[in-house]
Structures are given as C-alpha cells and as structure tokens.
C-alpha cells in the first residue's frame, strides 16, 4: 500500500471533473477551505462544455465556458485547464486516459478531488474512471503521455453525485462531510461565474434555481453532521492509494456514521 504523506507543507490539490461548473457545485466550498490553508490548487475540466447552448456554435460556447472557468479559478487563486475532450463524448479509451494522465502529471497533486463512479450522466461516470486510471498511471514512467511521471500515487476522493443519488435514484452516502458553512457565499460566488450555464439550464431543462439548488444540496449535506452547509466525499481506498484520511485531517471533516 502506498505510504501516507509525511511532508508537513500544504498538499498540492487537483480538482478535476467533466464540465465547467461541476467543481463549483460539488466541491467549491472545500476548495476555498484548502486554498485558505495555503494549498496550491489546480482545477481542470475534461471538456469545455461545448454543447451547452442553443444559440452559439460549439466553438463559441466552449470558449465562453472555459473563460468562465478561468474567472472562477482566478477568484479561488487556482489554475485552470481544459483537457480537450468533447461534451457528451467522454469515452473510456486509451487516448482519453493518456490525455487525463498528462493533466494529472502537470498538476503533480498530492490529493485529487473528482467525479463519483455513479451519477446522472455518462460523462461524469466515465470521468471518474478516467481520473482513477490516471491517478494510478501518472507515476508509471513507461506510460507515455508527453509529461514526466510523478513520484507517487495521490490520495483520491470522489465528490457527491449531482442530487446525492445515482442514475436509478439510489442514495449516495458520503464517507466524510466537510463543513463549508463559512465558505458558502464564496462557493456561490465561484458558481455565479458560470452565467452561460444558468441560461442553458433555464432554457433546456426548465430550471432557474442554479444557485438556490446548490445552496439546498449543501444544506442537506450539512444537516448530516449538524452544521448549516457541507460537502460530501468518499475516499478511494484501493491499492496502491494512501488510506489515511488526509482530507478529513486537513479540514476536520466529520464522518456521518460517527454521529448517526
């Protein structure tokens, strides 16, 4: 099993998900807390969200949405990159795996936050698998992707699925919940950078509660541990990832099972 991290400096963090705005919704408050600890944070999306418009071309909406992600990252004090895959076309294949592995190697993370293995759409689920593969492959020198291998396998955590449930409505239980009560307004400020997605959801899905829905989901997670707002995560514990709970230790996160 990979050894626990012994360096006392703030860990390097990579938050990587499928589309612009996924990270802000699902772990924006936690990223704010990690930034406040002095962690170097890299954010990435596998796609530019290039199908998220009924009016603009793929190139136009992709450019707009990546600009929104950069604006959000700047507010956080983080970097941002788009891996370059395509909306609704994320595929679990070797070319995609190498592209994601290259992004992981560029970030050199000690800790990764990413999509959960179950969610309401395929892009999210396949992102989870690709990032899991890349976290493993990043330290394998002979796996070539145009970037030098990292030194170790990082800690890996899965964010909540959207709505806290899988595709058949099965509830997703977090292993830990991070208290983001003090960061909720900053989290919503980061999310508000993604104005084009709010307009798209209002038109395509009849949803006009972009910020309110995120606040409500955060409140539901906070309720699990007796705070106003929270964000849930589950740690990947398979070999060769470290199994001590670094995220919980850094942020004094609570395991819901300990209080229920």
pLDDT in the model for residue 1: 42
Task: Please answer whether residues 65 and 196 qualify as being in contact, where contact means their C-beta atoms are separated by less than 8 angstroms.
Answer: yes
Task: Please answer whether residues 77 and 108 qualify as being in contact, where contact means their C-beta atoms are separated by less than 8 angstroms.
Answer: no
Rounded mean pLDDT for each run of 10 residues along the chain, 260 residues in total:
69 98 97 98 97 90 97 98 98 98 98 98 98 98 98 97 94 97 97 81 59 91 97 97 97 82
What's the pTM? Answer: 0.94
pLDDT in the model for residue 230: 98
Residue 5 lies in a domain: no
Residue 233 lies in a domain: yes
pLDDT in the model for residue 196: 85
Token pair 């070999």 is at which residue?
239
Please report, for the domain that includes residue 59, its CATH number.
3.40.50.10320
Residue 177, Cβ neighbours under 10 Å: how many? 27
pLDDT in the model for residue 257: 75
Give the integer Cα–Cα distance in Å for 177 and 227: 10
pLDDT in the model for residue 7: 72
For the four alpha carbons of 182, 188, 189 and 191, in that order, the dihedral sign comes to positive
Residue 7 lies in a domain: no
Residue 6 lies in a domain: no
pLDDT in the model for residue 137: 98
Residue 8 lies in a domain: no
pLDDT in the model for residue 259: 62
Q: Tell me the pairing of strands 230-235 and 176-179.
A: antiparallel
228: CB partners within 8 A, 6+ apart: 181, 184, 219, 222
pLDDT in the model for residue 167: 93
Residue 172 lies in a domain: yes
Domain count, the chain: 1
pLDDT in the model for residue 53: 85
pLDDT in the model for residue 244: 97
Residue 252 lies in a domain: yes
Residue 45 lies in a domain: yes
pLDDT in the model for residue 211: 80
Give the integer Cα–Cα distance in Å for 135 and 111: 10
86: CB partners within 8 A, 6+ apart: 47, 50
Give the range of the structural domain holding residue 165, as residue numbers without chain letter. 13-259
DSSP category for residue 165: B
CA distances to 45, 59, 60, 72, 204 from 53, in Å: 18, 11, 9, 20, 9
Cβ-in-10-Å burial (0-12, 13-18, 19+) of 215 comes to middle
């Amino acid at each position: 099993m990979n050894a626990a991290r012994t360096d006392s400096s703030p860990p390097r963090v990579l938050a990587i998900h499928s589309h612009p705005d996924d990270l802000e919704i699902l772990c924006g408050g936690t990223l704010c807390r990690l930034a406040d600890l002095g962690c170097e944070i890299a954010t990435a999306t596998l796609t530019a969200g290039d199908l998220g418009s009924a009016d603009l071309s793929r190139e136009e909406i992709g450019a707009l949405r990546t600009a929104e992600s950069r604006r959000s990252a700047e507010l956080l004090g983080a970097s941002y990159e788009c891996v370059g895959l395509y909306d609704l076309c994320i595929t679990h294949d070797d070319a995609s795996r190498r592209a994601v592995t290259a992004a992981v190697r560029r970030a050199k993370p000690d800790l990764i936050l990413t999509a959960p293995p179950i969610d309401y759409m395929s892009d999210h689920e396949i992102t989870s698998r690709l990032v899991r593969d890349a976290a493993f492959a990043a330290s394998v020198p002979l796996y070539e992707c145009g970037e030098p291998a990292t030194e170790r396998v990082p800690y890996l955590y899965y964010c909540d699925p959207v709505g806290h449930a899988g595709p058949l409505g099965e509830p997703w239980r977090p292993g830990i919940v991070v208290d983001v009560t003090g960061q909720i307004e900053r989290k919503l400020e980061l999310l508000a950078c993604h104005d084009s997605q709010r307009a798209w959801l209002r038109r395509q899905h009849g949803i006009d509660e972009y910020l309110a829905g995120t606040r409500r989901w955060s409140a539901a997670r906070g309720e699990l541990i007796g705070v106003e707002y929270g964000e849930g995560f589950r740690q990947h514990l398979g070999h060769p990832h470290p199994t001590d709970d670094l995220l919980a230790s850094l942020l004094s996160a609570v395991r819901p099972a300990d209080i229920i």
